[in-house]
Structure 1
Amino acid sequence: MNAEENKIIHSSPATAYLNRDLSWIEFNRRVLQEAQDPDNPLMERAKFLAIVSSNLDEFISVRVAGIQDQIRAGYTKKDFTGYTPSGLHKRLVKRVSKIITDQYRAFQAISRSMHKEGIVFVDYEDLTQAQELAAEQYYRDIIYPVLTPMAVDQSRPFPLVHSQFIYLAVVLSRKGSEEEEPYFAILQIPSNLPRCIPLPHRSNSKKRQFVFIEDVIRQHIQTLFSGYDPVAVSEFRLTRNSDLTIDEEGAEDLLEEIEKELRKRRRGVPARLEVQKGIHPYALEQLQAEFEIEDFVFEIEGPLDLGFLRNFAGSLKGFSYLHYPPIVPVYPAEFDETEDFFEVLRERDVLVYHPYESFDAMTDFIIQASEDEHVMAIKMTLYRVSGNSPLIAALANAAESGKQVTVVVELKARFDEERNIAWARKLEQSGCHVVYGLVGLKTHAKITLIVRQEGTELRRYVHVGTGNYNDSTAKAYTDISLFTAHKEIGLDASELFNQMTGYSADYDWNSFIVAPTDMSQSLQALMQREAEHAQAGRPARIIAKMNSLSNQQVIDDLYSAAQAGVSIDLIVRGVCCLRPGITGLSERITVRSIVDRFLEHSRIYYFENGGNPEVYLSSADWMTRNLTRRIELMCPVHDKLIRKQIVKILEISLQDNVKSSFLQPNGYYERADDKKAPYRSQFIAMDVTRWKGSSASPSKPKPS
């Protein structure tokens, strides 16, 4: 960066920061790169393409919709990165348009590669006579009975269009009529039927052929509108504002209030309209007039909503060679030596690194506690839980057997609200004490406390995690679990649950750092301490691994530490508002993002501390919402061996030169490009001995 650019940055503070939403677009582009990468297995590329779509859906339904709300409200103030809502919205339209164009180019490339492997998406007009007869019968027997055409005219107002469902817009003319004004109707594509319908094999062909359900319906659209001629049939898809506005203080029953808001979500303000390329002008006019949307309209050249590829790729039989080889998480060797978790934890702490080590260890821990006659109480936070969680059954069993079971369920976990309501009711019915957290705060900390009677004393056993108690995502996310019976951590765990469930004054934590009370100030103090070490010539370094970095105060503190001489390595998977590489401000800071087979999700914070390192595991990213509007936890790692293991995990990430991308001062990312032998951190981490040591030789998976 030249002197003139430096002058601009220092004269305009906003240019020292990258915009959060534009940074998110760049993250989704890195996901798209995995779909474009021919070195990835073909079906994994298809899954990455599906993730790009689902990521965009959430981004638009929450972030873009929120910006549109600000524009409608006349809000014109710039954010700390220098953008007004309207200015940012214009940039987002361009960036989203570009990524959609690239996404569908990738889809065409993946489709061609699938065709070579014998997996073919067939246009309806290219069906053989036998395939056409089969498609017609499937339409008549399966599809037609569940279709509901909905006309739009003076007597029938525009029906409710659900968010993120595919519809057909149908323009019609009356048979034998010379009326110029066309007729208009819409039709929802059934979401409970397969998107891709398998076709009979052609003779002497082993190809697996599929036709899209919307193409079959379009071909038979005249069966739904007798007396009318279809002029044009085009697909469209609407994305609505999906954020919830909950008056927690005024709500007499939070659960009922959230259920009421979930019903409102179905009628959220339209935020994006996707239409099939070449849509009839009259149909587009009708849709834009109804949804009152002008500039977030995208013409799609290809099938709408590529999210279908995730299930399609995952369910297709006979093509395992087009996927990553399956890995079987090893059962942690420390717990494999004995059936008694408590016996192990009385001797040592245990680190478990998911998905390379099995989440079954966590499940078994709770099951043992639920069945142990000496366990007096189990307390646990639940943020996102899988659809059929064994943890829920274990907690219910513990309550039914007379144990004191307290579960803090976060009802406001976005898009998991309905599932969490169902779990909360089930747990209450089994006798658990279910708490919905504190007013105005989400409970995002991941912690379990087990209180056990041992002789004349009570001993506390604690699990702290960087990820949710979700056995499904634990197979696809990288997260860290710490099991410990450390006395100070146990005392802090008890106090944290007391604060979440009752009334408690400010507490002087023994080990924990907790948001929103003291995490922001503690991070500032930790970074300042590193700066003082650097200025005194002592070892000073920060390594921070997280999902997102967007809090201005944290960024400023990192800048200050770097200017004082601290070496800072940030491993930020997604959004990063810090601008690295600026002379005099951030040239000692590197930011890299790793996007690979597993979702990098663990939050690990390392402070060199003058040669006496401190390591923390956390539920919190360095975002404003985590530091001010959520109950979050940073837990120190006291055990020297485990600290060493975690540092090794960080070192493995820092050495990645295959799936790492480095953030540049201009806000874009560049892939790691060096001449060293390929080093792919997730593949290295699969060998547990690489980070845990030879004493933790991989054992056979323990049956769950």
Structure 2
Amino acid sequence: MADKKMPYYNRELSWMDFNARVLEEATKRENPLMERLRFLAITGSNLDEFFMVRVAGVKAQVNSGYKPKDTFDLTPQELLKELEEKTHVFMEKQYSCLSRSIVPALEKQGICFLSCEEMDSQQLDYISQYFKEVLFPVLTPLAVDNSRPFPLLANKSLNLAVYLKSKEKEKKGDDKCFAIVQVPGILPRFLELPCEGGRAFTLLEDIIMHKLDELFELHDIKAACPFRVTRDSDMSIDEESEDFMSEMKKSIKRRKRGRPVRLELPAKCDKNLKSFLIDMLKIKKNEIYELAGPLDLTFLSKFAGIKGCENLCFKPISPVAPADFWGYDDIFAAIRDKDRMVHHPYESFDCVVKFIEQAAEDEDVLAIKQTLYRVSGNSPIIAALIKAAENGKQVTVLVELKARFDEENNINWAQKLEKAGCHVIYGLYGLKTHCKIALVVRREEDGICRYLHLGTGNYNDSTAKIYTDVGLFTCNPQYGADASSLFNVITGYSRPPEYQHFAVAPHGLRSFFKQRIQLETENAKKGLPCGITAKVNSLVDPEIIGLLYEASCAGVPVRLVVRGICCLIPGLPEVSENIEVISIVGQLLEHSRVFRFENAGNPKIYMGSADWMPRNLDRRVELVFPIEDEDLKQRAFSIMEMLLNDNTNARKMLPDKSYQHVTHRGKPALSAQQAFYKDAQERLKARQHVEHDSPLIPIHTADEAT
């Protein structure tokens, strides 16, 4: 067990530092302008979820008097104070970035946002027509008085608070009168205006505020302002309920009624409206965030995609056909010949979809088993699984209903799969199933063959275009046996087996990593080749951190690529001198998890779904698998080395817990993401050249391969 006095950086504060790195990308003038807006929107979306889950959780701990078990971490009271200070400063930086840097840059490009006071007569006529024809029929003004209580406002919805006075002078008690108008989330947040020279836009809430007198004809409008409430959205679920699906639906509804944890207001909010909202929402003053700009910056993500501004965006990374499958018309034949590796999004996710689609149509395929954690809204994987069931295949799908904020989507898919005749499992009691695995059982001339796809990312064709992940296809019989055992544990009452190749949580993954790290420590003490290289999204687990500190003290070089939260502190004398941590934040979201251990000169490399967090090691079904094919091992090694050599998007974590950009130091600029994209293109061209005279038909068309 790790030393209780060991250096440990609080996970929530570390997460705030990660979001600050994303915000840095929004401030970078070398990034394309619309991408800077997109990064700013991401920081807003990230912060929303952080408040809904993490900050809400800390507040709950404070209210319940919870005391942390680990003496090296902050108390909830200490943490909440730091978080509130840090988030106020962070949100000020968000709006400073928008108003002082991005808005002037947009104006230089001839793009501006106008308030109604700044519009010319043609533009005012245009918004009047829009209000009359589109907005007015959708709006529902809600008076708040003795007979009409303050409405239950949806989490994260944008609303207007209106302070009114009656025009009927003889009416008694007309001192203060209030109403709420919800800004319709169903309509676009911004509207393009007619404009001579350049492009002009306005926000929906500005149009509504300009036209409030048409909604409240019997009153004078004294003041109005937008506001936004973020609610506690962490779900409590009774997993012993007889109807788990029904319990999930109830929990989702409860989430919408959670206690407010943040109120966002404009900096110049009328004092009467502010008092009214504080009173109605029972919000504390330190939970109020007064902002110098439009509320809810997440809309900027859609704005960044407006037509006509493609030159202000990153050059898209358009996935190419995977070189490993080039020249094959039969995906099973390709996998029979050799293990195959695909690196997304540089190489197309289509091969994963085609793996399931071909299995659905293949007469020799008997069964398909797959885990689904997050899938897209119009998932071709789901469509293929439904087709497989309709074709008489035995289809078993684990749909994780507890995938946070994807619960409703997953419930809908689970119901559709069930109706099609698939066997649907909702996950295991007390655990989330987070592993990424698809198993196809096929009848062949020499007997039954099991084909596998094992991945680091979700079976989601949408996120596969922006998340970096790695997938392995194999029909190795030992991997197949492990896969069957894993599915038997998930779907039945099987005891967790002794896997031949897989390391699986919650019963064997912690001990696997512990043994591997300790082995490197022992090798260092014996003077044998040693080293640990790992890429994860988050490093939080105290025991793993303690073991890495011990390895460092023994002389093991530890190189870590940690995108987000990192509770380990590198570079501390006599603790972590041999540990370096970098974080890569760039055009794509780094999502793959990869682990390399030098193993006394016979290096081993593993990939999988698990981060180094207690939840992944102890409370989830996770899968980590080895790469054993020699060619693929070398490719996996090169992926890790490329990431470690990035000097464009990489930031190094310093002993004081701050991050600084990795400097070029005379070296040419290297973006690992761009290098991987170039490598995918070159590998495909090389295969196309070799296969030029081959009569085989490629899986992908030439158009898809460019």
**How high is the TM-score relative to the length of structure 2?**
0.95
Paired residue for 1:186?
Answer: 180
- 1:450 matched to 2:444? The reply is no
- Check the 8 A contact 2:321/2:684 in 1, yes or no: no
- When structure 1 is superposed on structure 2, of 136-145 and 301-310 the one drifting more is 136-145
Match of 2:420 among 423, 427, 430: 430
Measure, in 1, the Cα distance between the counterparts of 2:682 and 2:556.
Answer: 26
Measure, in 2, the Cα distance between the counterparts of 1:537 and 1:456.
Answer: 48
- 1:568 matched to 2:563? The reply is no
Measure, in 2, the Cα distance between the counterparts of 1:691 and 1:565.
Answer: 38
Measure, in 2, the Cα distance between the counterparts of 1:602 and 1:454.
Answer: 33
Q: Quickly say closer, same or farther: Cα 1:81–1:322, change in 2 above 3 A.
A: farther
Identity of matched residues, %: 47
- Check the 8 A contact 1:238/1:273 in 2, yes or no: yes
For the aligned residue pairs, the C-alpha RMSD in angstroms reads 1.8
Matches within 5 A, 1:313-462: 313-314=304-305, 316-462=306-452
Measure, in 2, the Cα distance between the counterparts of 1:436 and 1:491.
Answer: 23
- 1:56 matched to 2:63? The reply is no
Measure, in 1, the Cα distance between the counterparts of 2:369 and 2:386.
Answer: 12
| TM-superposition CA deviations, 1:541-562 (whole Å, max 9, x none) | 1100010010101111111111
| TM-superposition CA deviations, 1:579-638 (whole Å, max 9, x none) | 111111101000100000000000000000011011111100001111111000000111
Measure, in 1, the Cα distance between the counterparts of 2:15 and 2:520.
Answer: 29
Measure, in 2, the Cα distance between the counterparts of 1:596 and 1:14.
Answer: 35
| TM-superposition CA deviations, 1:471-521 (whole Å, max 9, x none) | 000000000000011111111000000000001123111000000001111
Paired residue for 1:635?
Answer: 625
* Deviation for aligned residue 1:292: 2.0
* Deviation for aligned residue 1:141: 1.4
- 1:148 matched to 2:147? The reply is no
1:185 aligned partner, one-letter code: A
Paired residue for 2:75?
Answer: 84
Matches within 5 A, 1:230-629: 230-249=221-240, 251-294=241-284, 295-314=286-305, 316-629=306-619
Q: Secondary structure of the residue that 2:397 maps to in structure 1?
A: strand
- Check the 8 A contact 2:456/2:593 in 1, yes or no: yes
1:351 aligned partner, one-letter code: M
* Deviation for aligned residue 1:81: 4.0
Q: Quickly say closer, same or farther: Cα 1:696–1:285, change in 2 above 3 A.
A: farther
- Check the 8 A contact 1:392/1:423 in 2, yes or no: yes
- Check the 8 A contact 1:328/1:701 in 2, yes or no: no
Measure, in 2, the Cα distance between the counterparts of 1:351 and 1:80.
Answer: 44
* Deviation for aligned residue 1:85: 0.8
Q: Secondary structure of the residue that 1:479 maps to in structure 2?
A: strand
Q: Secondary structure of the residue that 2:223 maps to in structure 1?
A: strand
2:480 aligned partner, one-letter code: G
* Deviation for aligned residue 1:574: 0.1
Q: Secondary structure of the residue that 1:679 maps to in structure 2?
A: coil
Q: Secondary structure of the residue that 1:451 maps to in structure 2?
A: strand
Paired residue for 1:125?
Answer: 117
Paired residue for 2:200?
Answer: 209
* Deviation for aligned residue 1:175: 2.3
Paired residue for 1:685?
Answer: 676
Match of 1:32 among 23, 33, 40: 23
Paired residue for 1:7?
Answer: none
* Deviation for aligned residue 1:220: 1.0
- Check the 8 A contact 1:329/1:358 in 2, yes or no: yes
Measure, in 1, the Cα distance between the counterparts of 2:579 and 2:362.
Answer: 49
- 1:199 matched to 2:193? The reply is yes
2:189 aligned partner, one-letter code: R
Measure, in 1, the Cα distance between the counterparts of 2:619 and 2:449.
Answer: 32
* Deviation for aligned residue 1:256: 0.9
2:469 aligned partner, one-letter code: D
Measure, in 1, the Cα distance between the counterparts of 2:576 and 2:281.
Answer: 45
| TM-superposition CA deviations, 1:529-551 (whole Å, max 9, x none) | 00111111111011000100101
* Deviation for aligned residue 1:668: 1.5
* Deviation for aligned residue 1:173: 1.6
* Deviation for aligned residue 1:289: 2.0
1:97 aligned partner, one-letter code: H
Q: Secondary structure of the residue that 1:307 maps to in structure 2?
A: helix
Measure, in 2, the Cα distance between the counterparts of 1:78 and 1:190.
Answer: 45
Measure, in 2, the Cα distance between the counterparts of 1:39 and 1:80.
Answer: 43
Measure, in 2, the Cα distance between the counterparts of 1:469 and 1:596.
Answer: 22
| TM-superposition CA deviations, 1:289-318 (whole Å, max 9, x none) | 22222112100110001100111111x111
Match of 2:13 among 22, 34, 40: 22
Matches within 5 A, 1:652-671: 652-671=642-661
- Check the 8 A contact 2:320/2:705 in 1, yes or no: no
| TM-superposition CA deviations, 1:354-391 (whole Å, max 9, x none) | 00000001011111111111111100000000011111
- Check the 8 A contact 1:163/1:240 in 2, yes or no: yes
Measure, in 2, the Cα distance between the counterparts of 1:79 and 1:181.
Answer: 54
Paired residue for 1:225?
Answer: 216
| TM-superposition CA deviations, 1:398-428 (whole Å, max 9, x none) | 1111111100000010110011011111111
* Deviation for aligned residue 1:102: 0.9
Structure 1 unaligned blocks of 5 or more = 1-9
Measure, in 1, the Cα distance between the counterparts of 2:680 and 2:259.
Answer: 52
Measure, in 2, the Cα distance between the counterparts of 1:623 and 1:607.
Answer: 19
Paired residue for 1:99?
Answer: 90
- When structure 1 is superposed on structure 2, of 326-335 and 35-44 the one drifting more is 326-335
Structure 2 unaligned blocks of 5 or more = 690-699
Measure, in 2, the Cα distance between the counterparts of 1:327 and 1:476.
Answer: 9
Q: Secondary structure of the residue that 1:268 maps to in structure 2?
A: coil
Aligned length: 689
Q: Secondary structure of the residue that 2:454 maps to in structure 1?
A: strand
